[in-house]
């Protein structure tokens, strides 16, 4: 009995410490939801369909209902093998034992995952810089410009939950937990390879000081298993070794070293006389993320966090694919916000309140604009 009680008490204590951060997270997200609801009501739109059934949400629901395609095809943007399986599998499994539609289940899973992610974000911030920074980091992550996606039927919340707890496990040297969460991240999004790389590099570096560390060595091989397993499965399903990458080419998602990104940024900032507001937001998010990575490196963040953020940035900035969802693709990169959280923790109360208020209100407006005015997917 005592063996079970100790972990339960530790978890209860950790949740108690995280409670202010989770309360702040909920306050930010509810603020965004209220503005979205008021704006949607005035435009005669329903909020639930927007959050639960449109764009990528529809793809995941279709996979939960009908499974994956069994051939490559030639149509662009039409093959559902581009979407990783953990989220639709969870939707199908949970929907089988709960009332309501699969769309409601999918949205509920995303919301619960967002809270688990917020807890993990807080845990990383607290571990590195203390409780105040942990709370500020969680608040800033909630107030990300496209943070409303956290409460949509998308995979960003689930992926961030896996990534955050994997990175926390690395910081606390729980190598098997880190590898397990990394494997789950690899089954959630293609950028799961960034989490696997972070765990593997940190584990290998730990072996320099103590070569005989079986769990760290095992983590090197276990961390990429989720990502690698799905890539291999798609290859077997399509009968070609590059099956998944062939699917991505049909979605125009080749890596081009950042040429398309630079071309789009130059066009929007220097040539387009009337750029769309959402694309300007995406552009400044990409630029700010690159600057924040430089600051993170200057602050000498732990190598696992730098590898995770760096690989994620390389994938997002180096893609030749569609431009408009790239701010969303960077939503899981919460370590990039650590320099801002540390700075705010040392600022005056008035300055901190003004900065956070601006971030929260800006995020609420951007989220509502993204779903109600911007005509395409977030």
The predicted structure's pLDDT at residue 178: 98
CB 110 within 8 A of CB 158: yes
Contacts of 157 (CB under 8 A, 6+ apart): 110, 111, 113, 114, 117, 149, 150, 151
Start-to-end CA span in the chain (Å): 48
Cα gap 188→319, rounded to integer Å: 19
Q: How many CA atoms lie within 13 A of 80 on its CB side?
A: 18
- Per-residue pLDDT reduced to its tens digit, 341-365: 999 999 999 999 999 999 999 999 9
Cα gap 65→44, rounded to integer Å: 29
Cα gap 339→331, rounded to integer Å: 16
Cα gap 156→141, rounded to integer Å: 12
Q: How far is CA 225 from CA 235, 314, 340, 354, in A?
A: 15, 21, 33, 44
Q: State residue 112 phi and psi, 5-degree precision.
A: -60, -45
- Per-residue pLDDT reduced to its tens digit, 99-127: 889 999 999 999 999 999 999 999 999 99
Cα gap 114→156, rounded to integer Å: 8
For the entire predicted model, the pTM comes to 0.96
Q: From the centroid of its chain, how far is CA 101?
A: 25
The predicted structure's pLDDT at residue 1: 46
Q: How many CA atoms lie within 13 A of 362 on its CB side?
A: 15
Stretches where the chain sits below pLDDT 70 are 1-4, 6, 212
The predicted structure's pLDDT at residue 212: 66
């Amino acid at each position: 009995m005592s063996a079970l009680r100790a972990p339960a008490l530790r978890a209860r204590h950790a949740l108690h410490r995280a409670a202010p951060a989770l309360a702040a997270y909920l306050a930010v997200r509810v603020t965004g939801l209220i503005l979205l609801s008021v704006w949607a009501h005035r435009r005669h739109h329903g909020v639930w369909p927007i959050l639960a059934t449109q764009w990528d949400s529809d793809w995941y629901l279709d996979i939960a209902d009908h499974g994956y395609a069994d051939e490559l095809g030639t149509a662009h943007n039409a093959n559902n093998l581009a979407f990783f399986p953990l989220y639709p599998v969870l939707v199908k499994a949970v929907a089988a034992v709960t009332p309501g539609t699969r769309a409601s289940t999918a949205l509920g899973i995303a919301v619960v995952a967002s809270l688990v992610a917020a807890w993990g974000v807080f845990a990383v911030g607290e571990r590195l810089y203390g409780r105040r920074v942990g709370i500020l980091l969680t608040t800033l992550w909630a107030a990300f410009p496209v943070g409303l996606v956290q409460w949509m039927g998308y995979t960003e919340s689930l992926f961030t939950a896996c990534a955050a707890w994997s990175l926390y496990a690395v910081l606390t040297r729980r190598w098997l937990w880190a590898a397990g969460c990394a494997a789950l991240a690899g089954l959630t999004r293609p950028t799961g390879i960034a989490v696997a790389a972070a765990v593997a590099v940190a584990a290998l570096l730990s072996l320099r000081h103590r070569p005989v560390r079986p769990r760290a060595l095992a983590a090197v091989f276990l961390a990429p298993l989720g990502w690698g397993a799905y890539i291999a499965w798609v290859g077997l399903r399509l009968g070609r070794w590059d099956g998944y990458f062939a699917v991505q080419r049909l979605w125009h998602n080749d890596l081009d070293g950042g040429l398309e990104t630079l071309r789009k940024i130059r066009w929007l900032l220097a040539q387009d006389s009337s750029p769309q507001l959402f694309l300007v937001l995406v552009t400044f998010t990409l630029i700010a993320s690159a600057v924040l990575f430089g600051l993170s490196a200057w602050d000498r963040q732990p190598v696992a966090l730098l590898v995770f953020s760096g690989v994620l940035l390389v994938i997002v900035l180096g893609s030749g694919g569609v431009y408009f969802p790239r701010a969303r693709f960077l939503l899981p990169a919460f370590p990039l916000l650590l320099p801002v959280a540390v700075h705010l923790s040392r600022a005056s109360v008035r300055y901190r309140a003004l900065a956070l208020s601006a971030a929260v209100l800006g995020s609420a407006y951007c989220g509502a604009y993204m779903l109600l005015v911007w005509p395409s997917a977030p």
